[in-house]
Chain A
Amino acid sequence: MSAPLLVGVLVAGGVFLVLLPGMVRIVFGFVLLGHAVNVLLVTAGGTGRTRAPLIGEEDPARMADPLPQAFVLTAIVITFGTTVYLLSMIRARSPGGRSEEPSG
């Protein structure tokens, strides 16, 4: 039962952060929401089988579903791209480091 609670904690934290003022909070709020969705995806593949899907090294009957893992792997890189982009927004909004934090 830990996975649903983990999703819940991450979503609650993420939503709280994106609703508060400040671009930095929003960025990390989205990071938390990204984690939540990734956990959800892996959980959707089933939590009973927990061996890495590496042929020849693990017992095939206990290997985890590789498909959600592939989704999540690309999702992490996309989340990274989004995060970097959001961070660059902060940079674009505050010229030369003398500006105040944009009130979100």
Chain B
Amino acid sequence: MVLLIALALMGGLTLAAPPVSRRLGRDAGYVLAAGFAAVALVLSTASSTVLAGGVVSVSWSWIPSLGVSFTLRMDGLSALFCVLILGVGALIMAYSARYLPEGGPHGAVYCLITAFGGSMLGLVLAGDLVLLYVFWELTTVVSFLLIGMSGGKGTRPAARALLVTGAGGLALLGAVVLLVAVVGSSDLTAVLGAREEVAASPLGPAIAALVIMAAFTKSGQVPFHFWLPGAMVAITPVSAYLHAATMVKAGIYLLMRFSTLFAGEPGWTLVLMGSGLLTALLASVWALLERDLKALLAYSTVSQLGLLTASIGVGTSVALAAAVLHTFAHALFKATLFMLVGVIDREAGNRDIHQLSGLMRVMPVTAALTGLAGLSLAGVIPMIGFVSKESLFQGFTGARVVPGAGAVAGVLAVVISALTFAYAMRICYGVFAGPTLQPRLREPSWSFLAPAAVAAVAGLVLGPAVTVLNPLVRQASLDIEPWAEPPLFVFWHGFSIELFMSAATIGLGLVLFLTRDRVDRVLRRSSSLEGGEQFDRGYGALLKAGSAVAASTHRDSAAPFLARPVAGVVLLGGVGVVTYAGWGGARPPSGPADWIVLALVAMVVAGLVTARSVLGTVVLGGTVGLLMTVWFLRAGAVDVALTLLLAEIMTAIVAAFVLGREPRSLPRTGRRGALAAGGLAVLAGATAAAGTAALTGRREISEAGAFFLRAAEPETGGHNVVNTVLVDFRGFDTLGEISVLAVVALGLSSVRAGRMRSGSRAEPYRSPVLTPAYRVLAPFIGVLSGYLFLRGHQEPGGGFIAALVSGILVAFGVLIGRVGAAAGTVRPGAAWLPGWGLAVAVAAGLAAAVAGRAFLTPLKASWSVPLLGVLEFSSSLLFDFGVYLVVLGLMVTAVIRLGAEEEPVG
């Protein structure tokens, strides 16, 4: 329960951030910092359980059909990351309160950073793989938004970050799916307990590879490293929090989490150690070359994450415990350095390492704090970075995956650390030494420095007092590898081999630093593997290939892209005709009337395709529709025939509205185009005929059909089975259909209305026949519509048909200018009709839900009334009324929108 409260609090803080910052401006950061601390306090109530090796968890059923639950779970490893997320988060929030400029809207920044904190917390607390994946993607999206907020220069880096980490998210999804397939559960505890099953499964290596891929993209490991330096266009608090302390550690968390399954597997170890050390080496060289302090720190982060990855790869309890401790230490000193670089940037207006000089004299406190954090990065005694680096060394030298692995890893680790030392010294030197170039600089306010100072001093104190961290780190390591007791950290190891490695690191690092000019010359000659350019080029090429494929469809003419699917169908049909074996079997014979209908349709279609005039097309199109009506009647589909008849009349009216002002003749067709179209059309027709002949018409009534015929009357009281299918049995389908119609009506409303001509056609058109006819017929048609609607459940009729009849009435009225005169009043009402119809239909469905039945189950009620007998009412009638309103709304919108020009105004 504690976990849920914590997560809910983060959600609440996210929502509260914009209003609070509207009121307090940038000072909202302090409120949010207090909020982060409060969440930490809430979680700390579970600390005794967690530190004793227990697991705090809470679970709700979420997607029971997939066995996925909303489970939150905190063990030692989660708790350690919670400390990082909330602790660093609180510091960053307090820092933002002074970093962000006074005034100006900060709601979005605060909201997003808090949302990120919440997502990250959810990620490390997720007790279900699906939930873990969801939070993983959330961090990706929020990171994208925060990078993209830095304006135009942020567009490309944000896109890069999203593409790379998004690809990693897909890999994680793949891993989750495979794990669920192997283990049979998405519950994290169950999955972590299934080491043997995963190891025995042939899918094991694939899962490991996907997990590694996901972690590498998130944690910027080569070859996915290039998005991280680009992400530095984001504001400094974002760089410090997301791209140094927490988000990039999500990959580390994932690797640690799944070490329970894979630690000690040679493949896992080799891949992680190999690429981790390679990343660390390359990135530390790039960091050495970098002049921009923020970019330098970004490469430094990549390099340190490489060391962590390699250490996790070693997989012994010593190495894992070292990785856990170094994760903590790195978050501490790297966040400090970012915050201080932000301070220097803000005060000195510059963060080029070659142009900063002698800050110590004007900004002594800032300089001193930078020195402390720099020493921790360099791994100099007595900082916490020293302790964690020594334990990393200890872990690496214990690598046994192949003979000599320990020695090679140890030497590489010393070289990497020496490079790290060298660039850390460059930071410190730039800040401390040299002449003071900007004597007017002053120390910033203490409130701006305080968060960095807290972190820097913590890094200093926690070195000698590292034993304070032992219980948490030990428990986190035990949660990764329950079978191995991790070592306890002490500040002073005695004169161990690690101490000599540290000494070698510092010695080599000093040499590299002192000979920096020569080092620079050598390094600049080596080609860069930076990768961002290549990625952009590849991405650009991909987009270009896409436009090349799409280019042929970017035309005014519909034929090129309509021809392709048709040709595809013909091709598939051809394959089907050749391979299909079931041609035999007798079909029910067709009567002579069927053949007559076929012959007539063929003749009319022939006329239609050769028609040159618009009028001919409309008339012949309508004739085909009427012939189809006959065919449906012959097939026993009375309601269908009725609906089609009415729809054809409506289509003809609307076509008359629209096409009345179009040119009278159709555009000419080229001979070659017509021949090609004709050839394809004949082939398509033959395919369709063959498909129909092969696949339909022979069987007896379907099971579903038989059921409806059997159950319609007893279950619904209706005799018209088609109508009961529409409103009783398959109401949900019908709801979908009328939703589509409502959308079409909405689309029609947005089409530019016909222009209302005022004055030019002031006199309404008065037909000596139509106007009196309308006056006489209108009431009858209205009554007919109501009658058809009410009897729909028993006889042909119902909402669709009744609405079409009413629609014809309205269209008739518009045609002779009756309704048009009142168009101004009808118009707003008409736009609402489909919405009302949907509302009525849904209400009818919800009535069943209220009564405790499934959505859209018809409810029946009956009263016995004297003289009239028993009156029955079913909620399906209400539903049908919703259908009626939607269809009528579509009709009215169509005729009024499209017929508008026909009618005069005022």
Are B708 and A66 interface neighbours, CB within 8 A?
yes
> Does B887 reach chain A (CB closer than 8 Å)?
yes
Are B681 and A53 interface neighbours, CB within 8 A?
no
The A-B contact count (CB < 8 A) is 323
- Enumerate chain A residues within 8 angstroms of B676, measured Cβ to Cβ: 19
Nearest chain A residue, comparing its CB with the CB of B590: A2
> Does B605 reach chain A (CB closer than 8 Å)?
yes
- The CA-CA distance from A79 to B294 in the complex, in Å, is 60
> Does B663 reach chain A (CB closer than 8 Å)?
yes
Nearest chain A residue, comparing its CB with the CB of B651: A83
Q: Which of B627-674 contact A (CB under 8 A)?
A: 628, 631-632, 634-640, 643-644, 647, 650-651, 654-655, 658-663, 665-667, 669, 673-674
- Enumerate chain B residues within 8 angstroms of A84, measured Cβ to Cβ: 651, 654, 744, 748, 890, 894, 898
Q: Is the interface of B mostly helix, strand, loop or mixed?
A: helix
B566, B608, B741: the one contacting A28 at CB < 8 Å is: B608
A36, A79, A85: the one contacting B747 at CB < 8 Å is: A85
Q: Contacts A78-B737, A103-B556 given; indicate if A16 touches B890 (C-beta within 8 A).
A: no
- Enumerate chain A residues within 8 angstroms of B804, measured Cβ to Cβ: 77
B residues contacting the other copy or chain, number (CB 8 A): 115
Residues 680-692 of B, flagged 1 when their CB comes within 8 A of A and 0 if not, give 1110111111101
- Enumerate chain A residues within 8 angstroms of B686, measured Cβ to Cβ: 8, 12
- The CA-CA distance from A74 to B643 in the complex, in Å, is 9
Nearest chain A residue, comparing its CB with the CB of B603: A9
Q: Contacts A24-B662, A42-B640 given; indicate if A67 touches B704 (C-beta within 8 A).
A: yes
Point out which of A36, A47, A85 has the most chain B C-beta atoms below 10 A from its C-beta: A47
CB distance from B891 to the nearest CB of A (A): 9
- The CA-CA distance from A36 to B681 in the complex, in Å, is 13
Point out which of B621, B635, B680, B751 has the most chain A C-beta atoms below 10 A from its C-beta: B635
- The CA-CA distance from A25 to B705 in the complex, in Å, is 37
Are B651 and A80 interface neighbours, CB within 8 A?
yes
Are A48 and B700 interface neighbours, CB within 8 A?
yes
Q: Contacts A53-B722, A74-B726, A82-B744 given; indicate if A4 touches B692 (C-beta within 8 A).
A: yes
CB distance from A104 to the nearest CB of B (A): 6
Of the four ranges (under 10, 10 to 19, 20 to 34, 35 or more), the interface on chain A belongs to 35 or more
A20, A36, A49, A88: the one contacting B751 at CB < 8 Å is: A88
Are B609 and A77 interface neighbours, CB within 8 A?
no
CB distance from A57 to the nearest CB of B (A): 8
Are A46 and B662 interface neighbours, CB within 8 A?
no
- Enumerate chain A residues within 8 angstroms of B744, measured Cβ to Cβ: 81-82, 84-85
A10, A21, A72, A87: the one contacting B654 at CB < 8 Å is: A87
B563, B628, B709: the one contacting A35 at CB < 8 Å is: B628
- The CA-CA distance from A53 to B840 in the complex, in Å, is 28
> Does B452 reach chain A (CB closer than 8 Å)?
no
> Does B346 reach chain A (CB closer than 8 Å)?
no
Are B636 and A90 interface neighbours, CB within 8 A?
no
Are A18 and B562 interface neighbours, CB within 8 A?
yes
Residues 41-84 of A, flagged 1 when their CB comes within 8 A of B and 0 if not, give 01111111111111111001001111111101110111111111
Are B692 and A40 interface neighbours, CB within 8 A?
yes
B667, B721, B901: the one contacting A55 at CB < 8 Å is: B721
Q: Contacts A78-B737, A81-B744, A88-B751 given; indicate if A97 touches B598 (C-beta within 8 A).
A: no
Q: Which of B609-637 contact A (CB under 8 A)?
A: 609, 614, 617-618, 621, 624-625, 628, 631-632, 634-637
- The CA-CA distance from A1 to B592 in the complex, in Å, is 11
Are B751 and A12 interface neighbours, CB within 8 A?
no
Are B631 and A6 interface neighbours, CB within 8 A?
yes
Are A15 and B685 interface neighbours, CB within 8 A?
yes
Are B647 and A64 interface neighbours, CB within 8 A?
no
B558, B618, B692: the one contacting A18 at CB < 8 Å is: B558
CB distance from A45 to the nearest CB of B (A): 6
CB distance from A85 to the nearest CB of B (A): 5
Q: Which of B43-51, B409-417, B465-473, B712-720 contacts A (4 or more CB under 8 A)?
A: B712-720
- Enumerate chain A residues within 8 angstroms of B708, measured Cβ to Cβ: 53, 66-67
- Enumerate chain A residues within 8 angstroms of B351, measured Cβ to Cβ: none
- Enumerate chain A residues within 8 angstroms of B521, measured Cβ to Cβ: none
- Enumerate chain B residues within 8 angstroms of A45, measured Cβ to Cβ: 701-702, 705
Are A15 and B684 interface neighbours, CB within 8 A?
yes
Are B558 and A26 interface neighbours, CB within 8 A?
yes
Given A15-B677, A17-B608: 16 more A-B contacts, CB < 8 Å: A2-B597, A11-B685, A12-B605, A12-B684, A13-B608, A21-B669, A22-B666, A24-B614, A48-B700, A67-B705, A69-B722, A84-B654, A85-B748, A91-B752, A96-B901, A104-B559
CB-based closest 6 A-B pairs: A12-B685, A8-B689, A97-B661, A65-B705, A64-B636, A16-B681
For this complex, 14 residue pairs linking A to B, each with C-beta atoms less than 8 Å apart, are A20-B669, A28-B617, A31-B621, A31-B625, A32-B621, A47-B697, A53-B708, A68-B705, A69-B639, A73-B643, A88-B658, A92-B751, A101-B663, A104-B667
